[in-house]
Amino acid sequence: MASCDTCLVRNRAICAALDADEIGALNTIGRQRLLEPGESLIWEGDDSVLVANVIEGVLKLSTGTEDGREQIVGMVFASDFIGRPFGTTTGHGVTALTEAKVCVFNRRDFDSFARAHPALEHKLLQRTLDELDRTRRWMLLLGRKSASEKVASFLIEMTDRVASPGCSSLMPPGAIHLDLPVSRQQIADVLGLTIETVSRQFTRLKADRIIDLPSRREVVVLDRAALVAEAG
C-alpha cells in the first residue's frame, strides 16, 4: 500500500483524526485498489467484509427492487467513507461510475483499530450523522420537490462535489464546469424522474442561460445563484 503521507485526501478523510504514529499503524492494515467503471466493490446483501476510503473517482450506492430493477440511492466521492463498520451485512451495492481509487480495509481489522482509537470512532460518528442529514435532505427532494427543483438540486450537489473552475477564456468569470459522472438516465433514476423530464429540464435551464451544455456529459453552470433559486 502506498504511504498515507502522500494520500490525496489525507486531510479530509476519516483518518485526518489520527496522528502520525496512528496513521502508520492504519497503513499496515490497508491496501489500495483501482476500480474500472462498472466494477463492483461491495454487493448488496453480502457479508460485511470490507470498508474503504475513496481516494479518487465517483461510485454509486444502489439497491435492487422486488421486480429486479436497480435503484441508485446515493453517490460517494473523494474522501467519503464506504462500507459498514461494526456490521454484519451490507445494505446496498457499491459500484464505480468512473475510474476510481479506494483504500480498502478488512472490516474486522478496521473495527479493532477503530475501537482502539477513540478519535477515529468519533470521526466515524460525525460522518454517520452527516450522512443522516444528507439522507433527510434527499427524502425532502424526492418527496416534495418538483421536477425542476430536483434537477437544480442535483446540479448544485455536483458543483459542491465534482466541479472544476472554468479555465477556458470562452467561459464567463465565475462559471463552474462539471463533468457529470452519471448519464441522464442514471440522473433520472436517482431523482425518480423519467429521462425525458430530465432532458427537458436541462434544455430549459440552458434556454434561461443558467447553464450551458457543451456535450452530453458536460455542464457549465453560468449562474449558480439562479440555480440555487431554481432548487427552491
Residue (of 149, 172, 160, 184) closest to 220 by Cα position: 172
Same domain, 117 and 153: no
Q: What is the pTM of this model?
A: 0.79
Last residue of a domain, one of 83, 110, 141: 141
pLDDT at 171: 66
CATH number for position 96: 2.60.120.10
Same domain, 115 and 226: no
> Is the Cβ–Cβ distance between 166 and 144 less than 8 Å?
no
Same domain, 130 and 152: no
- Mean pLDDT in order along the chain per 10 residues (232 residues): 66 79 85 93 89 91 82 85 84 90 92 88 82 75 83 90 62 83 86 92 96 92 94 85
Which triple of cell numbers denotes residue 146? 418538483
CA 119, distance to chain mean position in Å, is 24
Same domain, 163 and 214: yes
For strands 176-179 and 211-212, give the pairing: unpaired
CA 153, distance to chain mean position in Å, is 15
Domain span holding position 179: 146-230
Enter the DSSP assignment of 89.
B
Last residue of a domain, one of 141, 159, 185: 141
Same domain, 77 and 15: yes
Same domain, 80 and 47: yes
What's the pLDDT tens digit per position in 115-141? 888 888 888 888 788 877 877 777 776
Last residue of a domain, one of 119, 141, 163: 141
The CA angle 161-57-133, to the nearest 5 degrees, is 40
What's the pLDDT tens digit per position in 1-18? 456 667 777 777 778 778
Same domain, 99 and 180: no
Same domain, 135 and 204: no
pLDDT at 5: 65
